[in-house]
A = this chain, B = another copy of it.
Amino acid sequence: MKLGIDIGGTKTAAVVLGSDGTLSDQVRMPTGFGPEEVVGTALRTVARMSELAGLEPGGFESIGIGVPGAVDAGTGRVEHAVNLGVAGLDLGPRLADRLGVAVRVENDVKAAALGADHLLHGAGTRDASMAYLNLGTGLAAGIVQGGRLLRGSRGIAGEIGHIPVDPHGLECPCGQRGCLETVASGSAIARAWPSTDPLPARELFLAADAGDGAAIEVRDRFVGGVAAAVRLLVLTVDVDEVVIGGGLAALGEPLLGGTRRILEGWAAGSAFLGSIDLAGRVRIIPPGFPAAAVGAALVGGIAWPKS
């Protein structure tokens, strides 16, 4: 049995993946803040999951961790995980030392991409390619080709949120202007539609549905940015499918349907776009599916201790 853990800014989720591909129930607990607390959260999660699985803590075949920030999958080190209060942490080696079992660490969006690929294709589709488009506070994608994660030269494959798409667009915290993330992300919605609602994007979509002109404009610009991200991923990597995930995927059908309608409109105005079926390639992750935890259980590559 493989254990997958998704350490998020506020919650940590975990699942056990059986050797036959079955998933256990998902377990959630709060995430601690700061490096020691993150290690502690991971250890508590492992203890809890092994108890539920009837194993010793070191009894899992492997343990994979998805975590935000810049992850070096080759060393298990995490950096710049601002939401976790982690500037730098050798998470993989630290956990492996304590648990005596192989521990792999991957960026949470990349892990979620593997999890979404597993959901769509199971273990058996070596020819399929997909991109997981994570719409959270920011925007980033994970690309899976033939069941394997594309990490790229420096681990930044899929960082499409910082591709500018409008020279007159808003300033982005990255130092550029008009980045895709300034249009199609939770932070973009927060900036354009200030709200005290715990789910500002849902409030925005409801206000737009109710006919609020300003809300319609903000919503349409956001959905247009999501459609632009889909087009960019297909025209560059030509993936079979783009799966929308992340916190904003909870918007569900209004987001998926809106994105498809924009892509269909573009296809109607461009024979080239019409020939490549962008709308037909878009999916959305089912509500509640723990993509990053499932993917973390599946992450391949180097692990500690070196086996």
| A residues at B contact (CB < 8 Å) | 129, 141, 143, 145, 150-160, 162-168, 174-176, 228, 231-240, 266, 269-273, 276, 281
Contact = CB atoms under 8 A, between A and B. Distances in A.
Nearest to A159: B235
Given A163-B231, A164-B165, A164-B228, A273 B237 contact: no
Contacts of A232: 163, 232, 236
A236 B163 contact: yes
A273 B163 CA distance: 10
B238 A152 contact: yes
Nearest to A129: B153
Residue of A143, A145, A165, A269 contacting most chain B CB atoms (<10 Å): A165
B239 A273 contact: no
A162 B266 contact: no
A276 B269 CA distance: 36
Contacts of A166: 165-167
* Copy count, this protein chain: 2
A200 to B, nearest CB: 24
Contact of A168 (B158, B168, B231, B236): B168
A202 to B, nearest CB: 27
B270 A238 contact: no
B156 A238 contact: yes
Given A129-B152, A231-B163, A158 B273 contact: no
Given A143-B237, A158-B238, A175-B269, 5 more contacts: A157-B237, A163-B231, A165-B165, A176-B273, A232-B236
Contacts of A129: 152-153
B157 A272 contact: no
Contacts of A156: 234-235, 238, 276
Contacts of A159: 235-236, 238
A90 to B, nearest CB: 20
A159 B235 CA distance: 5
B175 A270 contact: yes
A235 B157 CA distance: 6
Contacts of A228: 164
B152 A239 contact: yes
A173 B162 CA distance: 27
B157 A266 contact: no
Contacts of A233: 236
Question: Which 6 pairs across A and B sit closest by C-beta, in order of nearness?
Answer: A152-B238, A175-B270, A157-B238, A153-B240, A174-B272, A236-B236
